[in-house]
């Protein structure tokens, strides 16, 4: 297996921490030629085992330059893991347009930018696999994460469509939908500015955030996502969707499809203590 992997070039966006870092370390150990990205200067970060390069997925030029750099070295890109993502929590009413757009810029348009750069390369190769890191929050609306959910719902739609368009060109598209994973995402995330000054939602927002922080802290390590990503890469006929998480999280998605909407919503509000 090691020898075959040696020829496969993998780009992972947002590989400086959490899920992206775990994927990069895991695939590097398995012998893949891994390129990870960060918005920061990699020389100022602790050393990584894999190649780390600067790329801000919010910026067209930065994405274009990053992809060109990999192509100049490798002349191919086999697998892309679109992982870079941010979350800013707050009631929809307390989310400014700028804060909403910032989340879409990274979580949705960032993926689109990378896809538009790599798809011509993959088409020319006649082979490729795009793996988009979505979330259970791309399938189920989570209170006080409205804009984050909206970005992931949008990513789900984009990926479903793209998969059909590129199939005949030898390119696979898959979605990974993790539940709560023990990363620093909440710590990296922010609350919207207006959340601090509007008391209307404070009690419910705080209650829901506490549950989310607990679930993330008690969630599995990001290595479980990395293992799943490797399995997806190795699958002879990769599926569209892969869920990673606890049985309860898997059941929540199934229950959304099965239960009457009102009952499902009631259960979710009870869970997040939203009154």
Ligand X SMILES: NC(=O)c1ccc[n+]([C@@H]2O[C@H](COP(=O)([O-])OP(=O)(O)OC[C@H]3O[C@@H](n4cnc5c(N)ncnc54)[C@H](OP(=O)(O)O)[C@@H]3O)[C@@H](O)[C@H]2O)c1
Q: Give the footprint of ligand X on residues 100-159 (CB under 6 A).
A: 106, 110, 133, 135
Please give the backbone phi and psi of residue 152, each rounded to the nearest 5 degrees, phi first: -75, -35
CA atoms within 13 A of residue 125's CA, in its CB half-sphere: 21
User: Which segment (27-35, 38-46, 71-79, 93-101) binds ligand X by CB under 6 A?
Assistant: 38-46
* Maximum Cα–Cα distance across the chain: 59
Say whether 214 sits in a helix, a strand or coil. helix
Question: CA 201 to CA 112: how far, in whole Å?
Answer: 33
**Residue among 5, 12, 28, 56 that touches ligand X (CB under 6 A):** 56
Give the closest residue to 29 by CA, choosing from 2, 11, 53, 7: 2
Determine whether 16 is an active site residue: yes
Q: How is 100-130 classified by DSSP, letter by letter?
A: HHHHHIIIIIHHHHHHHHHHHHHHHHT-EEE
Q: Does 174 bind ligand X (CB under 6 A)?
A: no
Q: Does 38 bind ligand X (CB under 6 A)?
A: yes
Beta partners for 41? none
**Residue among 5, 8, 16, 115 that touches ligand X (CB under 6 A):** 16
Determine whether 21 is an active site residue: no
Give the closest residue to 147 by CA, choosing from 203, 211, 194, 114: 194
Q: Order of strands, edge to edge, in the sheet holding 51-54?
A: 51-54, 33-38, 9-12, 79-82, 128-133, 171-178, 241-244
**Residue among 5, 51, 103, 183 that touches ligand X (CB under 6 A):** 183
- Using CB under 6 A as the binding criterion, the count of chain residues that bind ligand X stands at 33
Q: Which is nearer to ligand X, 77 or 181 (CB)?
A: 181
**Residue among 159, 174, 178, 232 that touches ligand X (CB under 6 A):** 178
What does each C-alpha distance from 87 to 5, 11, 140, 184, 195 come to in angstroms?
33, 22, 15, 11, 14
Lookup: tokens for 168 = 């005949």
Q: Which is nearer to ligand X, 18 or 146 (CB)?
A: 18
Instruction: Spot the catalytic one: 32, 35, 50, 148.
Output: 148
Q: How far is the CB of 153 from ligand X (least distance, A)?
A: 12
Sign of CA dihedral 157, 79, 20, 216: positive
Q: How far is the CB of 200 from ligand X (least distance, A)?
A: 27
Q: Which is nearer to ligand X, 11 or 119 (CB)?
A: 11
Determine whether 148 is an active site residue: yes
Instruction: Spot the catalytic one: 16, 89, 174, 195.
Output: 16
User: Which segment (18-26, 71-79, 112-120, 265-273) binds ligand X by CB under 6 A?
Assistant: 18-26
Q: How far is the CB of 34 from ligand X (least distance, A)?
A: 14
Q: Give the footprint of ligand X on residues 192-231 (CB under 6 A).
A: 216, 219
The DSSP 8-state label assigned to residue 242 in this structure reads E
The DSSP 8-state label assigned to residue 85 in this structure reads -
Query: Which residues participate in catalysis according to the annotation?
Result: 16, 134, 148, 152
Residues of this chain that bind ligand X (CB under 6 A): 13-20, 37-40, 55-58, 83-86, 106, 110, 133, 135, 178, 180-181, 183-185, 188, 216, 219
């Amino acid at each position: 297996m090691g020898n075959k992997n040696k020829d496969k070039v993998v780009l992972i966006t947002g590989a400086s921490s959490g899920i992206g870092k775990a994927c990069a370390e895991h695939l590097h150990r398995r012998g893949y030629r891994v390129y990870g990205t960060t918005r920061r200067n990699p020389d100022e970060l602790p050393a990584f085992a894999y190649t780390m390069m600067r790329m801000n997925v919010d910026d067209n030029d930065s994405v274009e330059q990053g992809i060109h750099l990999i192509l100049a070295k490798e002349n191919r890109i086999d697998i892309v893991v679109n992982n870079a993502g941010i979350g800013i929590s707050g009631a929809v009413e307390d989310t400014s347009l700028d804060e909403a757009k910032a989340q879409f810029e990274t979580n949705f348009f960032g993926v689109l930018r990378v896809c538009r750069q790599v798809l011509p390369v993959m088409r020319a190769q006649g082979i490729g696999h795009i793996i988009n890191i979505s979330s259970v929050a791309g399938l189920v609306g989570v209170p006080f994460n409205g804009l984050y959910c909206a970005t992931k719902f949008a990513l789900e739609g984009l990926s479903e469509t793209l998969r059909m368009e590129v199939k005949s060109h030898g390119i696979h598209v898959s979605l990974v939908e993790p539940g709560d994973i023990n990363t620093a995402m909440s710590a990296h995330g922010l609350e919207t500015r207006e959340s601090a000054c509007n008391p209307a939602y404070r009690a419910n927002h705080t209650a829901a955030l506490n549950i989310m922080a607990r679930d993330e802290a008690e969630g599995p390590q990001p290595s479980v996502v990395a293992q799943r990503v490797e399995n997806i890469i190795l699958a002879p006929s990769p599926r569209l969707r892969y869920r990673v998480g606890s049985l309860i999280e898997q059941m929540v998605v199934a229950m959304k499809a099965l239960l009457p909407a009102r009952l499902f919503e009631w259960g979710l509000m009870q869970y997040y203590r939203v009154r």
